[in-house]
Amino acid sequence: MLLADVAATSTALAATRSRLAKRALLVDLLRRTDPADVEVVSRYLGGELRQRRTGLGWRSLTALPEPAAAATLSVAAVDAAFEQMAGLSGPGSAGTRASLADELFAAATADEQHLLRGLVTGEIRQGALDSLLLDAVAEAAGVPPGSVRRAAMLAGATEPVAVAALGAGTPDEAERALAAFTLVVGRPVRPMLASSAPDVATALAGLDRPVVVDTKLDGIRIQVHRHGDDIRVFTRSLDDITARVPEIVAALAAMPATDLVLDGEAMAVDETGRPRPFQETASRSATRDADVAAATALTPFFFDCLHVDGRDLLDSPLVDRLAALDQVAGSSAVARVVTDDPRVAQERFAAVVADHQEGVVVKALDAPYEAGRRGAAWVKVKPRHTLDLVVLAVERGSGRRQGYLSNIHLGARDGDGFVMLGKTFKGMTDQMLAWQTERFAELAVGPTDGYEVRLRPEQVVEIAFDGLQRSSRYPGGVALRFARVLRYRDDKTAAQADTIETVRALAGS
């Protein structure tokens, strides 16, 4: 298949907001894809290269060669070129990689260059979510979407499932190929996700009672696998971090089971058992530094059991999975209550928040473990924090937001100036994007034709966020977590925005 076909589909995906139209575009391309190209095409449609690291980045793509006049690049040739770049190391590798990149981009048309650049930088904005791609694979193969989603959960990836389904000759053969994906201890499965509710009452309204009210810990998601003495620890993104977390490995080794798959969280806690700043947990899980590991140990907590000693529990109701969890995890099981009383659930939420945790997850007792779309069986509730901040700069949008001023830089008052706390483009409607593009053009200072446009610090925006973390990146020493725009505050001046002292007080609360 030509890369031009993928580039054209990517452009069309970015141009529409309709899920039905996006799915139709994906189905059309997948049906035209040669089986040998399905793995790579699926990855590109998901906005990623097959190679995790290529050595290329923004700086290496600042000056591209003139685009080719005609499309000649095949998907297979592009994948081979990136594979060659990824395999380079040692003296002279940077120069060789740059030459290979120039050769690749010189052979690409303008549309293909745009796609390749987005794949390299991770800046593909086409709205082709993984769940949408899985549904398109199901339609293209003529099988139920549920079969594809379950296979993807068990495989831990979309690409092998797409290859199996689309490489089969008939829908019946595709179903059999998908059924071959089973839970394998040692191979991570995609995690079950929770939808969100603004409060406990709303979460309860969608579930039969009684329900489980789990503590939502302020840590990192982990999935642990034990097969005898072989223990593996995976992150939410299914990266293997076993070598970095020997304390979690030791905790699993002490559990009374030979084969085990548990879902949970890991976090750094203080002497009282309360969570330490999230950044300590995040940096600890990302480093192999022995000194850092010794200074900041992670404690595992588990909230689900997917397999124990030869028994797969994915399809068992949560109540049975929790019984198995309590038997093997003991005190490492996440604290929870089971109740049919809304008052008890609300009190539990208040107690958890007071204990500096993120909130609660309300769960249906009869629900199986299912990855994929955020479903109604698990509903998370977190307290909403808001700040009135000032927009300091804005970045030009890409993909569907091409032509708009999109990603805003957020600042708190600091004396006579402002200090940056982070960036966001979350929560912006089309109307808001159009309004702020016009508004920020009025506030621009200096050049306006670059990627980033600096602004006079005048526009106040109300931002919701899930928490704060220490940051060495920003001068204020703190950064927003999961910031999103609620509304622009034309009723407030920049002098009335929240101060960095207020933000630091929240961070320390």
Q: Which of 22, 216, 380, 382 is catalytic?
A: 216
Phi, psi of 136 (to 5 degrees): -70, -40
> Do 216 and 378 meet the contact criterion of CB atoms below 8 Å apart?
no
The Cα 201–Cα 198 span in angstroms is: 9
Alpha-helical regions (H) of 287-397: 290-295, 318-329, 342-354
Q: How far apart are the first and last CA of the chain?
A: 56
Q: How many CB atoms lie within 10 A of CB 471?
A: 17
- Nearest alpha-carbon partner for 1 in 23, 46, 24, 31: 31
Contacts of 274 (CB under 8 A, 6+ apart): 355, 356
**Could you tell me which of 378, 461, 375, 380 has the C-alpha nearest to residue 423?**
461
423: annotated active-site residue: no
Look at residues 401, 482, 481 and name the one whose alpha carbon lies nearest to residue 436: 401
Buried/exposed 297-316: b ≥16 CB within 10 Å, e otherwise: ebbbbbbbbbbbeeeebbeb
* Integer angstrom CA distances of residue 183 from 165, 186, 225, 291: 18, 9, 11, 36
Count other Cβ atoms within 10 Å, centred on residue 214: 25
Instruction: State the Cα–Cα distance between residues 242 and 445, nearest whole angstrom.
Output: 49
162: CB partners within 8 A, 6+ apart:
30, 38, 39, 42, 133, 137
Gyration radius (Cα) of the chain, Å: 25
Q: Which helix (H) or strand (E) holds 44?
A: helix 38-45
Please list, residue by residue across 320-331, b when 16 or more beta carbons sit within 10 angstroms of its beta carbon and e when fewer do: bbbebbeebbee
Cα gap 275→215, rounded to integer Å: 12
SS (H, E, C) 374-429: CEEEEEEECCCEEEEEEEEEEEECCHHHCCCEEEEEEEEEECCEEEEEEEECCCCC
Active-site residue list: 216
